Amino acid sequence: MSGAAWRSALLYAAITFGAAFVLAVARDLVQPWTGRGAAVVGWGAAVIVGAVLAARWVLPRRHPRAGLGTRLGIGAVAAAVIIALEALLSLLLRGQSPARFVAQFATFEGGVLLVMYAMVLLAPCVAGRTR
């Protein structure tokens, strides 16, 4: 990947992570009324939409002629950065061990997270096809 693709991936990751963080506050606010499962699914859907919108904003401005391979690379780097940030914040803010961070993926909420990571990876490809 070129330097422009790396910068695009990092910008896309930052926007998507920021949106997910803000939406997590909304998720926690509606959870008492909707229940944990519904709040997590709604949050996951909103983050996926945000990831597609972020990709549609970043790619045409930063890397307009990116092919499918480059778009997949941008999505993969962004997903890896987001996973690393979440693992780091789980350790620093919650004191959660890396093993506990990985173990969370065996829960319903963890399954939603895995789908979100996959969609973050694929969103640049989807964004390229919807222009």
- Span 74-115, pLDDT tens digits: 999 999 999 999 999 989 988 888 899 899 899 988 898 899
Q: How confident is the model at residue 130 (pLDDT cuts 50, 70, 90)?
A: very low
pLDDT at site 93 = 86
Average pLDDT estimate for 53-58 = 93
Residue 55 has pLDDT above 70, yes or no: yes
110 Cβ neighbours under 8 A, 6+ residues apart = 104
User: d(Cα 31, Cα 16) in Å, to the nearest integer?
Assistant: 22
* Predicted pLDDT at 128: 66
Q: Given a cut of 50, is residue 131 above it in pLDDT?
A: no
Across the chain, mean pLDDT equals: 89
Say if residues 99 and 84 touch (Cβ distance below 8 Å). Answer: no
* Least trusted range by pLDDT, from 32-41, 58-67, 80-89, 113-122: 58-67
CA 33 vs CA 24, 28, 46, 110: distances in Å = 15, 10, 18, 21
Q: How confident is the model at residue 129 (pLDDT cuts 50, 70, 90)?
A: low
Percent share of the chain, pLDDT over 70: 97
